[in-house]
Structure 1
Amino acid sequence: MGIESERFARLRLVLRDEGLQKLQDATVMVLGLGGVGSACAEALARGGVGNLIVLDRDVVEESNINRQALAFTSTLGKVKAQVMEGMIKEIQPDCKVIAEQIFLTPQNIAETLGQFPRPDYVIDCIDTISQKLAVYRWAAENNINLLASMGAANRLDPTMLEFANIRKTYNCSMSRVIRSECKKRGIYGLEVLFSTELPFAVEKTGGNTKGETLGSMSYMPPIMGQMLAGRVIRQLAGMEEIQAPPYLAPQPGE
């Protein structure tokens, strides 16, 4: 299926053949296939990206159905990466997909991600801070373009989402921790999507798990995923200047 396919007809009107061909030749890696990541991967596939690497450790659970693009009654218990691969193939059969169920840790990220084809862009949709920081360091060390998602939990208003350098984020607890840890590690130039909205105060149910403290609206994570995909699509198609990768500053004594 070439760029002349009717599947891309509406894209071609905006991107033209040159931009569409750039997307077909591009490789994008999506880390995490939750509410943000699954919507992001879907939008990349519908947007004409020709090579996708999608990684996640989990299987679909019933609690995912309210917000995740791959979560249906029919997919409960199935590996998210495999479900996502099937969705991508239904959307764009000729898309080259690498989909794996992988548990990333700070210790294995460099080795694990290094085994895949070098991506033109990495989109971080992971929700664990230690893993996110290791991904940023790996991208900085390898000069790989990266865009990161911050927290969407307990937010209600998608009009308050913004792209910014991590140093300019506010009202986001995840961003605050990431900002501090990046400074400690000498990681600079990280671009993120975050919410400027103060989080909604959820009623305590007695527990302290994510399911008991982190509420999620049906539309917030998918909108974040779509925004991340849109940013990357516009840059790879040549419609916007590509954001420089994160970089490492020398540490004291180096």
Structure 2
Amino acid sequence: MNPQPPPPAPSETETPPAPAAAGTDANGSLARPFKLSRRFDRTGRLLGDTAMERLANARVVVFGQGGVGSYATEGLVRSGIGHLTLVDHDDVCVTNTNRQLHATVKGVGKSKAELMAQRCREINPMARIEAVREFYREEVAEQMLQPGQYDFVVDAIDNVKAKLHLLHRCVSLGIPVVSSMGAAARLDPTAIRVEDLSETHMDPFAKDIRKLLKRKYGVETDRHTGITAVYSIEARRMPVALNYDDATDGFLCVCPQDNDFHTCDHRTQIDGSVSFVTSCFGMNAAGVVIRRLASTR
């Protein structure tokens, strides 16, 4: 992993979130009462001070900073989550521009995790943001996800093997998790649904995840799993060949880096996708996290 250094200390004009526990702080001094920043005024008027204090003290990790994960991160930081860890091994590719929040002309070739971390710090300089340039997999799972480390996990991974292991680890450790199913190959954001994984239907990807979790890890996916899934009931649309594919005998990957884990060339098919669907997947995932953490720890 390659964690980034913590952001600068809060300015004197800001009041940092106090520890949730009343009484004294870690140094034995009287704890300062929580004071909501005006930047979260409108969220606070929906949820109240007590819920906003929970969010400010919550620790959330988002695995994947692509078309779904970048928007999930945006929804979380703009809702007042005080501690965010952003995990992604990739650099921005020009083909990310149509759907990923950090993908701009200046962003191409730069780390997705670090770009989103920088963006989060500009939205809420009081938050503690960590960028981790890593690909989640079994070999690094214990290092990246430990018991009690996070209050919630957002799974926006599109690699099936990695997703399966992450979901199994969350279930095994009892960590609340919301997982994005197939956001690509869809055009209708109104067809998005949020259910326990066992209740998903009309989504072939979700069906495969249920089957493989049960077969490989023994997770009973025909009853309540505790895995909240964001999925779509819209039928998948097959990708359309484009004119420039003819010049390369098919799809040509133009990603700025090669890796041994997950590349365009490793995929059997490159689906189309649009921002107004992938973003809604991400924002739905963020909504699950905020509603749960605001109501109870």
Structure-1-length-normalised TM-score = 0.88
CA contact (8 A) 2:238 2:271 kept: no
Partner of 1:249: none
Q: Identity across aligned pairs (percent)?
A: 33
Partner of 1:124: 155
Please, which of 276, 283, 295 is the counterpart of residue 219 of structure 1?
276
- List alignment gaps of at least 5 residues for structure 2: 1-13, 16-34, 252-263
Is 1:157 matched with 2:188? yes
CA contact (8 A) 2:36 2:52 kept: no
In 2, the alpha carbon distance for the partners of 1:177 and 1:7 equals 42
Deviates more, 1:75-84 or 1:3-12: 3-12
Is 1:84 matched with 2:121? no
Q: How does 1:1-254 map to 2 (within 5 A)?
A: 1-2=14-15, 3-114=35-146, 118-184=149-215, 185-188=217-220, 189=225, 190-204=227-241, 206-207=250-251, 213-238=270-295
Shift of 1:137: 1.7
Shift of 1:18: 0.7
Partner of 2:259: none
In 1, the alpha carbon distance for the partners of 2:293 and 2:108 equals 34
- List alignment gaps of at least 5 residues for structure 1: 243-254
Shift of 1:168: 2.2
Which digits, 9 at most, give the CA deviation of each residue in 1:37-59, with x for residues without a partner? 00100110000000001100000
What is the identity, as a one-letter code, of the residue corresponding to 2:276? Y
Partner of 1:250: none
In 2, the alpha carbon distance for the partners of 1:95 and 1:156 equals 34
Shift of 1:111: 3.0
Larger gyration radius, structure 1 or structure 2: 2
More helix by share: 1
Distance 1:211 1:83, change over 3 A: farther
Deviates more, 1:187-196 or 1:204-213: 204-213
Q: How many residue pairs are counted as aligned between the two chains?
A: 239
What is the identity, as a one-letter code, of the residue corresponding to 2:228? E
CA contact (8 A) 1:106 1:130 kept: no
Deviates more, 1:101-110 or 1:20-29: 101-110
In 1, the alpha carbon distance for the partners of 2:172 and 2:71 equals 28
Q: How well do the aligned residues superpose, as a CA RMSD in angstroms?
A: 2.0
What is the identity, as a one-letter code, of the residue corresponding to 1:142? L
